[in-house]
Amino acid sequence: MRTKQQYIKGLSKMKRNIYYDGERIDRTDERQMACLNTMGTTFDEALKPENEGLCTAISHLTGKKISRFTHIHHSKEDLHKKQDMTRMLCQKVGGCIQRCMGIDATNAIYNVSYEADKSNNGATEYHKNFKKWLTRFQNEDLVGCCAQTDVKGDRMLRPADQPNPDAYVRIKERLKDGIVVSGCKVHISEASVADEVLVVPTRALRPQDKDYAVAFAVPGDWDGLKQVVTIHNLRPREYFKRGFMPGSTDSYLIFDNCFVPWERVFLAGEAQHGGTLALLFALFHRHSYSGCKPAIGDIILGGAGLAAEANNVQKADHVRKMFAEIIMVTELGYAAGYTASDLGKPEVYMPGTGFIPYGPGSYIPNSIYCNVGRCLSGEAVFHEAEMLCDISGGVTATFPHEKDFLNKDTKDLLLKYTKRSPTMSVEDQAQVWRYLGDVLCSASGGIHNIGAYHGGGSPVMEQIAITTQYDIEARKKLVRYIAGMSQGDREILAPKTTKTKSAPKVSKTGKGREPSSKK
């Protein structure tokens, strides 16, 4: 496994295909260092003995110790540890740890590439290609990002119906040695500091959308790929430093007639599997949110607690009520993710059918609980910010600048009028307001709230998944019995002649899977 320094050195050797604010920049540009330090934490923590087994795993492909961020889940324990690792690391950096896209994409592609080959009766080698790529990904401890969201063009039109055929990333040409792709993926977190870009579809696809059913992986500096990046940094502090200064980036990834060799292609035209891959990545990513969102809840609660202490209102009834609300959302989100891990199995939910064996035997978290946890925590984002604002007051927006606390004419006066709490030093009170100003009033703070709301799918997407996958009819049947109702409209209209067909049985044999030596 690599060190943080080796990771950054590797990025420094990549070609410059990143554009920021009108200029082409290097990946180790000073403006990206806060983001690199955040991502670098995943390397630092994995090398600590106390994190052995939490941030590391044993590869089912090579038997070597690897970063858990490159691992394929093969048990409930793997899913639990991914969730706990994410929460711990997000606590360390005070927000998103940024590396979950890679582990979520690899686990999704691992399953779908296998099923696509099976459907193609051996005519394709997607899964073989992916395992070869994954072995290198694990051995070299690489960082991957997932490019899923397309620009989408006219939102009322499906991919093949768009007037701009590149509104969704597509296969433009099929060649003997690979494919040529064209299009743009947007809002791709940390692509500018990733070694590899994993591309997956963004929605369900029809047969006529087959050119958009494409999945592949290329290095971040691949020929034909341009990145236009936005960098989210807090206002730098010169004198009153933060304990940790986080940073993040998002990229528009423009594939301009980009050639991808077949050995890097994991899906190419299988529309049904393309839609499944879109859903499966979202599922794994929503499971990751059950680790990061509780960590962010921990940080929000800590900030609210310190703001209340600085204002000396920590015992007020309305403040305790807000504390309780933050705690409930935080731990319900975690509990839903933990349950999703515990109910995980090598099966996927297919609407109208139920759970069916899927993939080569790796574990997939339970969809209902992944979506419930993500929806609860996503909907709470702006309300939590509102509570933090309520408790802290207006001082977060108007607190004086650093140098005003150094100027001999204003320093002592400002400290005198900053002091509110009799139990917290005035210097610490000032640091609380500076920190909460970063969270509530900065451009980065606003960007992070939008990311927390929309990342992994807006709450409406989780609501759709929950209501379409949950057995509402079974609950209606329960109440029909309790209420003494007839068993259904058919029986009311024709109780003597209508029969209810039993649901089709789902095979549980798992035939055709790879050997179970991975477990």
Exposure string over 260-293, b if 16+ CB within 10 A, otherwise e: bebbbbbbbbbbbbbbbbbbbbbbbbbbbbbbbb
Measure Cα distances from 237 to 165, 230, 431, 453 in Å. Answer: 46, 21, 11, 28
The yes-or-no answer to whether 4-278 and 280-468 have a common fold is: no
Q: For position 514, what pLDDT does the model report? A: 45
What's the pLDDT score for residue 66?
Answer: 98
Asked if 303 contacts 435 with a C-beta cutoff of 8 angstroms, the reply is yes
**CA neighbours closer than 13 Å in the CB half-sphere of residue 187:** 15
Measured CA to CA, the distance from residue 188 to residue 146 in angstroms comes to: 7
Strand partners, 28: none
Per-residue confidence (pLDDT) for residue 405, from 0 to 100:
97
Beta strands in 164-246, from DSSP E residues, in sequence order: 170-175, 178-189, 196-199, 214-219, 225-233
Which residue from 450, 431, 463, 333 is spatially nearest to 385, judged by alpha carbons?
Answer: 450
Instruction: Compute the chain's Rg from CA coordinates.
Output: 25
Structure tokens at 365: 């978290």
pLDDT below 50 — which residues of the chain? 490-519
Structure tokens at 511: 């035939």
Which of 381, 376, 387 minimizes the C-alpha distance to 95? Answer: 381
- 435-493 pLDDT, tens digit per residue, is 999 999 988 888 888 888 887 778 888 888 888 888 888 889 999 999 999 875 544 44
What integer pLDDT is reported at residue 349 of this predicted model?
85
Q: In the prediction, which pLDDT does 115 show?
A: 98
Would you state the pLDDT for residue 464? 82
Beta-bridge partners for 199: 147, 216
pLDDT at 456: 77
pLDDT (0 to 100) of residue 148: 97
Q: What do you get for the CA distance between the two ends of the chain, in Å?
A: 22
Q: What is the pairing mode between strands 196-199 and 144-147?
A: parallel
Nearest to 283 by CA among 57, 471, 487, 462: 462
Q: Give me the pLDDT at residue 513, please.
A: 43
Decide: 143 and 196 in contact? Cβ < 8 Å: yes
| pLDDT, tens digit, 9 for 90 and up, residues 294-319 | 999 999 999 999 999 999 999 999 99
Residue 193's contacts (CB-CB under 8 Å, 6 or more residues apart) are 11, 27, 32, 35, 36, 39, 98, 143, 249
Give the Cα separation of 26 and 20 in Å (integer).
10
Q: Which CATH class is domain 280-468?
A: mainly alpha
Which contacts of 5-8 are long-range, i.e. CB under 8 A and separated by 24 or more positions?
Answer: 6/43, 7/36, 7/39, 7/40, 7/43, 7/141, 7/143, 8/36, 8/40
Domain ranges of the chain: 4-278, 280-468
The SS3 of residue 86 is helix
Q: Write the pLDDT tens digit of every residue in 153-167.
A: 999 999 999 999 999
pLDDT of residue 474: 87
- Predicted pLDDT of residue 488: 57
Answer yes or no: CATH 2.40.110.10 is held by domain 4-278: yes
Looking at the chain, how many residues does it have? Answer: 519
